Structure 1
Amino acid sequence: MGSGKVTTGSAPFDFQGKHVTVAGLGVSGIPAAKALHARGAIVTVVNDGDDARSREQAAGLEALGITVRLGDGATLPEGTELIVTTPGWQPGKPLFQAAAEAGVPVWGDVELAWRLRGPDAAPWLAVTGTNGKTTTVRMLAAILEAAGLRTAAVGNIGVSLLDVVLGEETYDVLAVELSSYQLHWAPSLRAHSAAVLNLAPDHLDWHGSMEAYAADKGRIYAGNQVACVYNVADKATEDLVREADVEEGCRAIGFTLGTPGPSQLGVVDGILVDRAFVENRQKNAQELAEVSDVRPPAPHNIANALAAAALARAFGVPAQAVRDGLRSFRPDAHRIEHVADLDGVAYVDDSKATNTHAAQASLAAYESIVWIAGGLAKGATFDELVAASAKHLRAVVLIGADRALIREALARHAPEVPVVDLDRTDTGAMLQAVTEAKRLAVAGDTVLLAPACASMDMFTNYNQRGDAFATAVGELRA
């Protein structure tokens, strides 16, 4: 397929005959290996795991002539001239240390996709942040579609950027979700416009420090052409804009749940308004949508909608498309999803709240809560979360491996709140947790699954955890 030479705004890289190592299989590793192989590279895939799924994936690649080494992700293959890594591989892994010592560059799958873009490739509107990325990107895609643009929600949302960039379908613009992992390995990325939604401690075991985590998030602003979108309520995001090296004329655009100032989007009397992409923004504002057009209209979700609107407006989308896109948008499962009402009590599944920042936003959306929490803490602490949310808590039910950390924070900051500590980490614990929550709740309360923790101690992922919650609620209804 072509000469193998790529010249798309980054330094050209001729893959023909080059020895390239792909680190990891899965959603991004397999497309990377195939794309490199198709461009004449001599590809070796290394993977830590050697299970049945990995062996099946390896067989498919080996049939194409790609070498796969399972169970050995630490050793740098001899002759490697470039590593392309999947997002989850930590920078401190021996493979990357060996690469650094040998002077071998490391790209992520996003970097590879960026370099393989064609000369007429669609611009990227990029989104990152600790929480809300997927919802914001899907809102953005809905708004762009409402404007009649050919678009797709891609990236960390579960759709391989490589597959989209190299596919036959053409787009006017892409709505791209990027994780801190992906940004760490994407030095050449230059978006049309980008947003950092918020910053809170997360994945510190991967990045090593909050400073390193924030710096990787901030990479999304590098080289922005039109707008760097930040959260007025989160100064750390504005600081990243101030530090960014952008193209001349690129503007800082804030979003706020309050009344917006010039060059901001915000909320006035239940209306989402734009004072950034209007004539005479010192005096004028453009109505975009009503708060009621956002589903669900929880505060953090309104912030997501404003960020999506800001990126769409930066791309020239008319106000009506913002309204129409938000009205057509439906949130994914397990994101503050209303499951049922039983005896005047609402049951809400926010299993996607896998860290303290997401859980705090979820807890702030309801007045009186029986909170189901716990799981894998990923190095997080819970004092700030509990202190901020104590006034909303009627009771707490704890599950999971690191529940003691939450219990101790509750003892310090909400000692009057009843706590049920379920000493079990099997999947059946969810039915007991929901049963206990039902016993503790009274009419008008919300039983909220917002674990503030990862799920892998008890479940395959947060989706399975949320499904278990919904199933348990269903059994109570029977």
Structure 2
Amino acid sequence: MGSRKVTSSEPLDWQGKHVTVAGLGVSGIPAAKVLHARGANVTVVNDGDDARAREQAAELEALGITVRLGDGATLPEGTELVVTAPGWKPDKPLFAAAREAGLEIWGDVELAWRLRGPDAAPWLAITGTNGKTTTTQMLASILKAAGLRTAAVGNIGVSLLDAVLGDEQYDVLAVELSSYQLHWAPSLRAHSAAVLNLAPDHLDWHGSMEAYAADKGRIYEGNRVACVYNVADKATEDLVREADVEEGCRAVGFTLGTPGPSQLGIVEGILVDRAFVEDRHKNAQELAEISDVNPPAPHNIANALAAAALARAFGVPARAVRDGLRDFTPDAHRIAHVADVDAIAYVDDSKATNTHAAEASLAAYESIVWIAGGLAKGATFDELVAKSAKRLRGVVLIGQDRALIREALARHAPEVPVVDLDRTDTGAMLAAVQEASRLAVAGDTVLLAPACASMDMFANYNKRGDAFAEAVRELGS
């Protein structure tokens, strides 16, 4: 972990600057409007040319913004800066042309960072393969419990541009950042940041695991107070070691075990801090009980420790950590208990859209009938099945790529009963729940943790979780 002094960026003069915004949508439209309002000559380019895109284009053109639909590959003549939607792949021809012309390429996060005022609220930033949203929301809840003006923003769905340019004044922001956003945010410098975990994901976008990890690691660059890492995931600590930070910034670990100095962890059911205390080699500060975490599954306790570490880095008192965790309610479809039917628990973790998330979900229960399958996104399932086999009472498979999971089960858990539903229609979820209920016995958990994306059968993971909950209700009626 190298040290340096990072200075703030200078205010930019946008008047007459030719800016190309790549992509309509939740980030492109606000970026175009903000830049146009500051006097920039804005051209928006978009690959699609459907009815929705034409409607959005008309809205921007009414303001005097140029929009080119169906042509996201060509760099408009005279472009001086490109601002891109985070999901646009780095290998797009537009970006190759921009790099060849020596132009900078920013994402919406970079734009928000550059546009924030001189007295802007510092950012506590969070990334990781899984748990980002929950941890960011936990952090915001803890900060609010401390009486601070804050908001959970970024990849969580609340625009950072709105947060930094709106009328509301904040003391600090809890910022969720995806690997896409970090890739396009070269000058971001957080107060403190955390990488929760690293597992293969979005490799089709990044090109390799190394590139994916490097983009996640950008979140540590220029940190002022603390780089928070996962003791159980060495790759996150490696990213801290490689980061170039401000002098005095510390590496702070979180662990589900007993914490060492400069770590947060668990002692006899208590979340404790041995990082932000006097004489951390001898002392520890109690923060909360495991029962204050909702739900108290292992991976969610890890989320709570990461959120607590960032809050403590900002100077939040221990009592606010406890109160904030108690006040926090997780979003739907995140290891959510739906109902008990005939002494069998039914749990919806539809948000477990990759193997890493599913592994954490499966680790939370002792005896499971697992409902899994969907779009694998290039994932393999051998490691997941091998680690979870001893917990499986049975498995019900649905979705397009279910054969990949079935084959892993045959290799690593051949004794586990498997029901393979050769269906990808939305009604398959009712059949899956009915089959799971037949495999389960009293005391078991029927767990929807698909380890796959949902779009082969459902519009999104929310719809998939809703279908599961509805099927459980029908089972209990």
TM-score by length of 2: 0.97
Give the aligned residue type for 1:122.
A
3-state SS in 2 of match to 1:182: helix
Larger mean CA deviation between 37-46 and 123-132 belongs to 37-46
The correspondence of residues 15-414 of structure 1 with structure 2, limited to 5 A, is 15-414=14-413
3-state SS in 2 of match to 1:459: coil
Larger mean CA deviation between 36-45 and 214-223 belongs to 36-45
Q: What do residues 412-463 of structure 1 show as CA deviations (whole Å, max 9, x unaligned)?
A: 1111111111122121111111111111111111111101111111111111
CA distance in 2 between counterparts of 1:470 and 1:52 reads: 33
Percent same amino acid among aligned pairs?
88
Q: Does the 8 Å CA contact 2:11/2:115 hold for their aligned counterparts?
A: no
Give the aligned residue type for 2:39.
G
CA distance in 1 between counterparts of 2:97 and 2:10 reads: 24
Q: What do residues 352-380 of structure 1 show as CA deviations (whole Å, max 9, x unaligned)?
A: 10110000000000011111111111111
Q: What do residues 370-422 of structure 1 show as CA deviations (whole Å, max 9, x unaligned)?
A: 11111111111111100000011111111111111111111111111111111
CA distance in 1 between counterparts of 2:100 and 2:423 reads: 45
Q: What do residues 248-271 of structure 1 show as CA deviations (whole Å, max 9, x unaligned)?
A: 000000000000000000000000
CA distance in 1 between counterparts of 2:456 and 2:93 reads: 26
Larger mean CA deviation between 348-357 and 22-31 belongs to 22-31
Give the aligned residue type for 1:113.
A
CA distance in 1 between counterparts of 2:416 and 2:349 reads: 21
CA distance in 2 between counterparts of 1:123 and 1:133 reads: 18
Give the aligned residue type for 2:172.
V
CA distance in 2 between counterparts of 1:322 and 1:221 reads: 23
CA distance in 2 between counterparts of 1:375 and 1:73 reads: 30
Identify the residue that residue 3 of structure 2 maps to in structure 1.
none
Larger mean CA deviation between 186-195 and 36-45 belongs to 36-45
CA distance in 2 between counterparts of 1:50 and 1:465 reads: 29
3-state SS in 1 of match to 2:26: helix
Give the aligned residue type for 2:25.
G
Offset of residue 56 of structure 1: 2.0
Offset of residue 71 of structure 1: 2.0
Q: Does the 8 Å CA contact 2:152/2:175 hold for their aligned counterparts?
A: yes
Q: Does the 8 Å CA contact 2:21/2:44 hold for their aligned counterparts?
A: yes
Larger mean CA deviation between 102-111 and 150-159 belongs to 102-111
3-state SS in 2 of match to 1:14: coil
Larger mean CA deviation between 285-294 and 81-90 belongs to 81-90
Offset of residue 104 of structure 1: 1.9
CA distance in 2 between counterparts of 1:464 and 1:74 reads: 33
Q: Does the 8 Å CA contact 2:123/2:190 hold for their aligned counterparts?
A: yes
CA distance in 1 between counterparts of 2:450 and 2:45 reads: 34
Offset of residue 12 of structure 1: 4.3
Give the aligned residue type for 2:371.
I
Q: Does the 8 Å CA contact 2:372/2:402 hold for their aligned counterparts?
A: yes
Structure 1 residues not aligned, in runs of 5+: 1-7
Structure 2 residues not aligned, in runs of 5+: 1-6
Larger mean CA deviation between 10-19 and 401-410 belongs to 10-19
CA distance in 2 between counterparts of 1:449 and 1:282 reads: 43
Q: What do residues 316-336 of structure 1 show as CA deviations (whole Å, max 9, x unaligned)?
A: 000000000000000000000
Give the aligned residue type for 2:304.
A
Q: What do residues 99-131 of structure 1 show as CA deviations (whole Å, max 9, x unaligned)?
A: 122222110000000000000000000000000
CA distance in 1 between counterparts of 2:244 and 2:180 reads: 20
Larger mean CA deviation between 79-88 and 261-270 belongs to 79-88
Offset of residue 14 of structure 1: 2.2
CA distance in 1 between counterparts of 2:210 and 2:155 reads: 22
Identify the residue that residue 469 of structure 2 maps to in structure 1.
470
Offset of residue 53 of structure 1: 2.2
CA distance in 1 between counterparts of 2:278 and 2:107 reads: 40
CA distance in 2 between counterparts of 1:242 and 1:297 reads: 31
Q: What do residues 31-71 of structure 1 show as CA deviations (whole Å, max 9, x unaligned)?
A: 11111111111111112222222222222111111112222
Matched, 1:449 2:451: no
Offset of residue 11 of structure 1: 4.8
Give the aligned residue type for 1:437.
A
Give the aligned residue type for 1:239.
D
3-state SS in 1 of match to 2:244: coil
Give the aligned residue type for 1:111.
E
Q: What do residues 206-257 of structure 1 show as CA deviations (whole Å, max 9, x unaligned)?
A: 1000000000000000000000000000000000000000000000000000
Q: What do residues 184-219 of structure 1 show as CA deviations (whole Å, max 9, x unaligned)?
A: 000000000000000000010110000000000000
CA distance in 1 between counterparts of 2:99 and 2:356 reads: 34
Q: What do residues 140-172 of structure 1 show as CA deviations (whole Å, max 9, x unaligned)?
A: 000000000000000000111011111010100
Aligned length: 471
Identify the residue that residue 437 of structure 2 maps to in structure 1.
438
Offset of residue 25 of structure 1: 1.5
Q: What do residues 279-335 of structure 1 show as CA deviations (whole Å, max 9, x unaligned)?
A: 011100000000000000000000000000000000000000000000000000000
Q: Does the 8 Å CA contact 2:273/2:284 hold for their aligned counterparts?
A: yes
Identify the residue that residue 423 of structure 1 maps to in structure 2.
422
Offset of residue 18 of structure 1: 1.3
3-state SS in 2 of match to 1:13: coil
Identify the residue that residue 4 of structure 1 maps to in structure 2.
none
TM-score by length of 1: 0.97
CA distance in 2 between counterparts of 1:445 and 1:46 reads: 52
